[in-house]
Copies of this chain bind each other. A is one copy, B any other.
Amino acid sequence: MTAHPAVQTVGLRDRKKQQTRDALATAALRLVAERGLEQVTVEEISAAADVSSRTFFNYFPCKDDALVADHSVDSARFLTRLAQVPPEVPALAAVRSALGEMIDRMQADRERWLLRMVVIERNPALLPRLVAAGVETERTMTELLADRVGVPPDHHFPALLAAVAGAAFRSVMLRWAAGDGARSLSDLVDDAFETLAAGLPDPHPAP
């Protein structure tokens, strides 16, 4: 069903690895959603995924990462995209544009991402982990942005924009999950980036 005959370069070994990784992440997410972060041990997660707990640590450096840092591929693609946006596009808009593909993938994997965000919301200890997952990305993004706008790498603008964009995106993801995915992630991101571009003016209260 999910077999793509065109993509055969991926051997059995790699497929198994992906399966194990997936099984671990899924089990972790399910168990923590049911019982809460503290009530679930690595041992239980590993048992649910049918591997030893040592194997768990071969895939994830810590329990939390199985819940939030299961998507390192995405950030690499995001950075590639960002580098590809034509240089005349202003930096903020370029970031928004580069996020597009990541957003599409997230919406394709909708259920898992919604569950992930709900789990994070209910276990606030995980929120910093979400930041940790993005830290490396933000560092690289800072360099790319410095290059793009033609300022030295220690200028304040690139670091600020990277940090702010990251924060905005996290805020949007939480909002998306809070609304149970009713509005599309893409729309919500547009709202947020428009607000940023407008300089964060006070919204008009409902009349």
A37-65 CB contacts (< 8 Å) to partner B: none
Instruction: Chain B residues near A205: list those with CB within 8 A.
Output: 149-151
The reply to whether the CB of A171 lies closer than 8 angstroms to some CB of chain B is yes
Q: Are A170 and B178 in contact (CB under 8 A)?
A: no
Per the 8 Å Cβ criterion, residues 168-186 of A in contact with B are 168, 170-172, 174-175, 178
CB-CB < 8 A to A188: which residues of B? 156
Give the residue of B151, B168, B178 whose beta carbon is less than 8 angstroms from that of A160: B168
Instruction: Among A156, A175, A192, A201, find the residue whose CB has the most chain B CB atoms closer than 10 A.
Output: A156
- Residues of chain B within 8 A (CB-CB) of A172 are 156, 160
Tally of chain A residues near chain B (CB < 8 A)? 46
The A contact surface, by secondary structure, is: helix
Docked-complex contact B199 and A196, CB < 8 angstroms: yes
Q: A103 at the A/B interface (Cβ < 8 Å)?
A: no
Copies of this chain held together in the complex: 2
CA of A151 to CA of B207 in the docked complex: distance in angstroms? 10
Q: Is the CB of B149 within 8 A of A171?
A: no
Q: In the complex the two chains form, what is the Cα distance from A192 to B157 in whole Å?
A: 8
Q: How far is the CA of A201 from the CA of B161 in the complex (A)?
A: 10
Chain B minimum-CB-distance residue to A194: B199
Closest B residue, CB atoms, query A125: B132
| Nearest CB on B from A73, distance (A) | 21
Bound Cα distance A11, B202 (Å): 45
Residues of B close to A167: CB separation below 8 A: 163-164, 166-167
1/0 per residue A57-79: CB within 8 Å of B? 00000000000000000000000
Tell me, rounded to whole Å, the shortest Cβ–Cβ distance linking A205 to chain B: 4
Nearest neighbor of A160 in chain B, beta-carbon distance: B171
| Other-chain contact of A92, B171, B174, B178, B200 (Cβ < 8 Å) | B200
Cα–Cα distance between A199 and B196 once the two chains are bound (Å): 6
A159 is contacted by which of B135, B171, B206 (Cβ under 8 Å)?
A: B171
Minimal beta-carbon separation of A129 from chain B (angstroms): 7
**Considering the chains assembled together, what is the distance between the CA atoms of A90 and B48 in angstroms?**
52
